[in-house]
Homo-oligomer: A and B are copies of this chain.
Amino acid sequence: MATKGSERAAPVTRSLPHVVIVGGGFGGLYAARALAHRPLRVTLLDRRNHHLFQPLLYQVATAALNASDIAVPLRSVLRKATNITVLLAEIERVDLANRRLVLDRGEMGYDALVLAAGASHSYFGHDDWEVLAPGLKSLEDALEIRRRVLLAYEAAERESDGAEQQALLTFVVIGGGPTGVELAGALGEISRRTIARDFRVIDPTKARIILLEGGPRILPTFPESLSRRADDALRRIGVEVCTNAIVTRVTADAVWLGGKQIRARTVLWAAGVAAAPLAQTLGAPLDRSGRVLVEPDLSISGHPEAFAVGDMCAFLHQTGTPLPGMAPVAIQQGRTVADNVLRRLRGKPTRQFRYRDKGSMATIGRAAAVAVVGRLRLSGLVAWLAWLLVHITFLIGFRNRFLVLFEWAWAYVTWHRGARLITGPWKGRG
C-alpha cells in the first residue's frame, strides 16, 4: 500500500470545516494561498494539473515561450500548505442546496465553496466556427494555434497554385481586444522578422495579417488616444486593422464580412468569452455571458457559504457594469473570498468586495505597448518596459521568471523564437 501513515499525513483532522475551491486559475489559486496554514481542510479541484499564467498565453501560441515557462504544477505551488489537497477532477454539477459537488467519479461535500472555473470562448451562437477559428484559453489551444500558423507557411512553400498560396499566407484575427491585438502583433513580427529568411519559394514578409474588430476602434476598453497608438504600432509591423468589421460567416478557407470575402486558411478567435458551463448547473441568476450575478460580498444569492470569483462571476455593485475578465480582478476577488470564508466560519459578518484598479495594458510587439495606470496613459517603449516589469513580477515561481526573462532577452537580440516546433499529428495541408 502506498498510503502514508497517519503520523506523516494528517496535520488536519476530519472535524475541521471543509472548503472546496473549483479551479486553479488566478481566482482559485489566490484564494487557496490565502487559506494555507489556516484551521481548515481545503480541497482544490481542477481538471488540469497546472496553474496557467494566461496573460502570456499568446506568447506560447506564437512560439516565443515554452508551455512550461508560463505554467506551474498546482501541487508544487501549494506543496507546503499541508492543509490543502489538490485533486485532478472534472466537476459535472454543483448541488448548492445539499452543499455537494458531483464529480466525474463520486461526489464531494463542502462547508464553504469557492467557484473559480473561469471562462471559455463564446462564438455568439456560431459554435460551428470553433473548429475553424480556434480561440486561446488553454495550453492546448496555444499549441494548436502555433501548429496551424507554422503549418500554413509550410504548406504555402509547397503550394503551386497562386490563389491558394495567398490564402495560406493570410492570417485573420477576429476581435480587437487585448488578446486579439497581442496575437496580431506577434503574427506580424513572426512574418516580418522571425522567419523572414527561412523559406526559398515564398516570401513570408508578404504574408497578410488582418485584425478584425466589430466596433469603431480596437482596444475599446482603453482611452481613445491609446487605441490610435496601438493602431499605428500594428500597421508599422504590417498588420491590416479593419474596424466596424462584423464577421457573418467563417468557412475552411474564408472569412465573410457580409458580402465581402477574405480568403484565409488560418483564422483565430479572440472575440468573445462566456463563463464556464458549470455556472449553468447552479440554478442561480446569471448574466447573458453566463456569469453568476454575485452579491456585494461575492457570495451566491441565497447561499452565503458559496462564492464565485474571476471570469465566472459578474460583479456589478461598484460601477454598474461587470468588471473586466482580467487577472488582477480575479486575484483580488480570490483574496476577498478567502477572507469572507474565514469570517463566516468564525460567525463574523463578511466584507464587501472593492476592486482597486491598478491599471491595464496591452502589448503590440517589440518595444511597443499601451498602458493606463490611474490618470497616466503610456505608450511605446515606456509602456512596454512597464508591461515587462509587471508580467515578470507576477509570474509565479522564480525559475519561470528567470527563464522567461532569458527567452525574451534572447529573442530581443536575435529576433529568434525558440519554440517554433510543430507537434501533433501530421494532417497534410489541414
Interface residues of A in 1-37 (CB under 8 A from B): 1-4, 8-9
Q: Residues of B contacting A399 with CB < 8 Å?
A: 410, 416, 418
One of A162-170, A241-249, A259-267, A321-329 at the interface: A162-170
In contact, A3 and B201 (Cβ under 8 angstroms):
yes
Q: Residues of B contacting A71 with CB < 8 Å?
A: 421
Q: B-facing mask of A61-92, CB < 8 A → 1, else 0?
A: 00000111001010110010010011111100
CB closest chain-B residue, reference A47: B426
Q: Residues of B contacting A8 with CB < 8 Å?
A: 203
In contact, B85 and A421 (Cβ under 8 angstroms):
no
A351: Cβ under 8 A from any B Cβ? no
Q: Residues of B contacting A339 with CB < 8 Å?
A: none
Q: Residues of B contacting A278 with CB < 8 Å?
A: none
A286: Cβ under 8 A from any B Cβ? no
On whether A4 and B104 interact (CB within 8 A), knowing A66-B68, A158-B87, A421-B71, the answer reads no
Q: B-facing mask of A400-430, CB < 8 A → 1, else 0?
A: 1001001000100000101111111110110
Q: B-facing mask of A192-204, CB < 8 A → 1, else 0?
A: 0001011111111
In contact, A143 and B105 (Cβ under 8 angstroms):
no
In contact, A105 and B198 (Cβ under 8 angstroms):
no
A101: Cβ under 8 A from any B Cβ? no
One of A149-157, A219-227, A232-240, A377-385 at the interface: A149-157
Of B4, B165, B418, which contacts A2 at CB under 8 A?
Answer: B165
On whether A421 and B139 interact (CB within 8 A), knowing A1-B165, A104-B428, A151-B88, the answer reads yes
CB closest chain-B residue, reference A424: B140
On whether A2 and B47 interact (CB within 8 A), knowing A82-B200, A399-B418, the answer reads no
In contact, B202 and A3 (Cβ under 8 angstroms):
yes
A406 to B425, CA, bound (A): 30
CB closest chain-B residue, reference A420: B73
CB closest chain-B residue, reference A43: B200
A199 to B4, CA, bound (A): 10
On whether A140 and B202 interact (CB within 8 A), knowing A75-B195, A88-B154, the answer reads no
A150 to B403, CA, bound (A): 23
Interface residues of A in 318-361 (CB under 8 A from B): none
CB closest chain-B residue, reference A206: B2
Of B3, B199, B200, B416, which contacts A165 at CB under 8 A?
Answer: B3
A65 to B166, CA, bound (A): 37
In contact, A73 and B421 (Cβ under 8 angstroms):
yes
Of B4, B86, B90, B422, which contacts A426 at CB under 8 A?
Answer: B90
Of B49, B87, B206, B418, which contacts A68 at CB under 8 A?
Answer: B418
Instruction: Give 10 closest A-B pairs by Cβ, nearest first.
Output: A88-B154, A75-B198, A2-B206, A68-B419, A66-B66, A85-B200, A4-B203, A49-B422, A73-B420, A2-B202
16 chain-A/chain-B pairs, Cβ below 8 angstroms? A1-B165, A1-B206, A3-B162, A3-B203, A4-B201, A49-B150, A49-B422, A50-B422, A66-B67, A85-B201, A104-B428, A139-B421, A140-B424, A140-B425, A399-B418, A406-B406
Which A residues are within 8 Å of any B CB, using their own CB? 1-4, 8-9, 47-50, 66-68, 71, 73, 75-76, 79, 82, 85-90, 104-105, 139-140, 143, 150-151, 154-158, 162, 165-166, 169, 195, 197-204, 206-207, 399-400, 403, 406, 410, 416, 418-426, 428-429
Known: A49-B421, A88-B155, A143-B423. 15 other contacts (CB 8 A): A1-B166, A2-B204, A4-B202, A9-B200, A50-B422, A66-B68, A66-B419, A68-B419, A68-B420, A86-B200, A87-B158, A90-B426, A139-B421, A139-B423, A399-B416
